[in-house]
């Protein structure tokens, strides 16, 4: 379906981004992986996706908290594979603390990575997409793009910002064969969720087990975590030609969370 096209998936050495990269590779797309981690492990992932799906996979270690590195990542993909047809702005981090104790450096980091990086990468990728009259921009937002939770001020602000960016880019690119959509997952079991459990327990005065059941799964009417494969399947659909009229949308995949 996407044979010969190239996808850049930010934050794809782990979790949702890795599953999306694998899903797009399964459709024949060449992939640029990005994110942090052990060099040997990343090479195993890269070579494994190439071998399993018969596509080309390159890795770029750009630190996306820096605007210049976001633009350089897009240029790397264009120089390596000739185009960026699918851009998945997915890299993100979390920090959980009450507003009056929220570290200012964590605020700056989360806004830079979870919001500004998507701006810088999109800005760099859109000219090529417009010239080729085809493009798919998929932003991994969150249920927190639509509703808030306490103690996540920076994350909720960044994700609400991503919703606005998604709609604006969709309007600007609508006549160029380009779509721009946001995926809004509820809780997906990944290192990002696992790592926030101790701080949430501290902020709410609960045990970690209580946080998992009474805070995290309590938010989701299904009482189940969403899987990374389910999120990847939605991204693959948004990248398909069948989804060409879906643009500017917030795609909820949250076990019913924001319906409440
Ligand atoms: P994760 O921790 O498994 O993956 C995060 C990825 O981002 C990793 O590859 C990491 O190396 C990369 N990364 C971190 N800092 C970076 C930087 N400075 N530059 C480049 N890459 C960097 O987390 P995840 O749960 O897969 O999260 C992926 C996205 O999904 C995030 O935007 C997150 O907000 C969003 N999301 C996650 C959930 C969830 O429940 N897990 C729910 C809604 C939205």
CATH superfamily of 6-188+227-253: NAD(P)-binding Rossmann-like Domain (3.40.50.720)
CA distance 162 to 183: 10
Domain ranges of the chain: 6-188+227-253
Q: What is the pTM of this model?
A: 0.97
Asked whether residue 192 carries a pLDDT value surpassing 90, the answer given is no
Tens digit of each residue's pLDDT (9 = 90 or more) over 32-74: 999 999 999 999 999 999 999 999 999 999 999 999 999 999 9
Which token pair is 6? 């190239």
Q: Which active-site residues does the annotation give?
A: 155
| Residue to substitute in 8, 9, 12, 17 for testing ligand 1 pocket (most ligand atoms within 8 angstroms of CB) | 17
Tens digit of each residue's pLDDT (9 = 90 or more) over 150-191: 999 999 999 999 999 999 999 999 999 999 999 999 999 998
Q: How far is CA 202 from CA 92, 96, 142, 199, in A?
A: 22, 9, 23, 5
| Residues flanking ligand 1, CB < 6 Å | 10-17, 34-37, 63-65, 90-93, 113-114, 140, 142, 185, 187-188, 190-193
């Amino acid at each position: 379906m996407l044979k010969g096209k190239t996808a850049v998936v930010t934050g794809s050495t782990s979790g949702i981004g890795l599953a999306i990269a694998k899903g797009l590779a399964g459709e024949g797309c060449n992939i640029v992986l990005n994110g942090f981690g052990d060099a040997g492990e990343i090479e195993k992932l890269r070579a494994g996706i190439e071998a399993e799906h018969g596509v080309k996979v390159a890795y770029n270690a750009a630190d996306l908290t820096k605007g210049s590195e976001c633009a350089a990542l897009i240029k790397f993909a264009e120089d390596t594979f000739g185009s960026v047809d699918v851009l998945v702005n997915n890299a993100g981090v979390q920090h959980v603390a009450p507003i009056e104790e929220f570290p200012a450096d964590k605020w700056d980091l989360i806004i830079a990575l979870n919001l500004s990086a998507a701006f810088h990468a999109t800005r760099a990728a859109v000219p090529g997409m417009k010239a080729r009259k085809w493009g798919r921009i998929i932003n991994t937002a969150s249920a927190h793009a639509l509703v808030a939770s306490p103690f996540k001020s920076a994350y909720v602000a960044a994700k609400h910002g991503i919703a606005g960016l998604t709609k604006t880019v969709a309007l600007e690119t609508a006549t160029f064969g380009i779509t721009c959509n946001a995926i809004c997952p509820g809780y997906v079991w990944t290192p990002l969720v696992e790592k926030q459990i101790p701080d949430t327990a501290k902020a709410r005065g609960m045990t970690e087990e209580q946080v998992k059941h009474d805070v995290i799964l309590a938010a989701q009417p299904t009482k189940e975590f969403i899987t990374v494969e389910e999120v990847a399947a939605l991204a693959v659909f948004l990248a398909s030609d069948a989804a060409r009229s879906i643009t500017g949308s917030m795609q909820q995949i949250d076990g019913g969370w924001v319906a409440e």
